[in-house]
A = this chain, B = another copy of it.
């Protein structure tokens, strides 16, 4: 219907030039109210809808940002994406969403696709920043911000929580309940967030309490429910040495842990205490309800996007590397302190 109506048609209808139409469409103040109205009427009558592609070509702004996530079907990233989208909408941006599956080649390919599409900026999430990727980031013609993604020595804009301190707090709370042995069920250690941050927090809490570090108490998972169960069962095989307090790297693994315990006839939190990480909606959908470290996913997304808009608008920025607060949500999988 109105798909082939151009600014020129509007100009003719309103008996002005296309530049004038452009001015009213873009809210330029240098237009006499009477002509503004005339033009607006013509627009309404014809059902004119500006062609954003042509606009993007002429102005070199697309009001579109790219978002690269590992997997949108993961509740964690879905929440993040929602935060991003909400503030994007607020600032009149749209988002092009891409799934990388954490595949380094795919990540680079997606980056190039997005740059080809002339996005105004990019928000990136991923477990590990391959150095090739970082190189591309550095030469990107548009700003890139990392969301819930560690930055190590590269100084890219990023928003995170302090994972080390969060893990520390979680483990410490367990220690405070009198436990001497604390199990740690973690995601892949190659990922900085696990291998460096959370792990460091785990160890430092132990050290602080003068508790020995014992390798057999840390078990590898892959973030899934099943891997959580499996890891807990492995811990259970330790028999009397089995830790009676578990810190799981994600809520989903924590659920697996709890069910593995219950399947083995144990009571949570009476026999075993469990604490998760992320505070996904899962946490309240299990009995006992899961005590967990809250990582504000939605907020991280929202703040990332806000940071990006600040960069795009060349607003004053206090710091490129923002750290959001975390806390522990006490529920029923730990004994109340």
Contacts and interface: CB of A to CB of B under 8 A. Distances in A.
A286 interface: yes
Interface residues on chain A, size class: 35 or more
A51 interface: yes
**Identical chains bound together, number:** 2
Contacts of A240: none
A128 to B, nearest CB: 21
Contact of A94 (B57, B62, B98, B284): B98
Interface stretch (A11-19, A77-85, A202-210): A77-85
B287 A64 contact: no
Nearest to A141: B3
A314 to B, nearest CB: 18
A285 B255 contact: yes
Given A52-B117, A62-B53, A72-B82, A96 B94 contact: yes
Contact of A72 (B72, B118, B252): B72
Interface stretch (A108-116, A173-181, A230-238, A318-326): A108-116
B98 A52 contact: no
Interface in A94-146: 94-99, 112-118, 139, 141
Given A73-B79, A141-B1, A298-B73, A51 B97 contact: no
Interface in A249-279: 252, 255, 259, 262-263
15 contacts: A52-B116, A52-B118, A53-B57, A53-B118, A73-B81, A74-B78, A75-B78, A81-B97, A85-B99, A89-B99, A96-B97, A225-B285, A259-B285, A285-B286, A286-B286
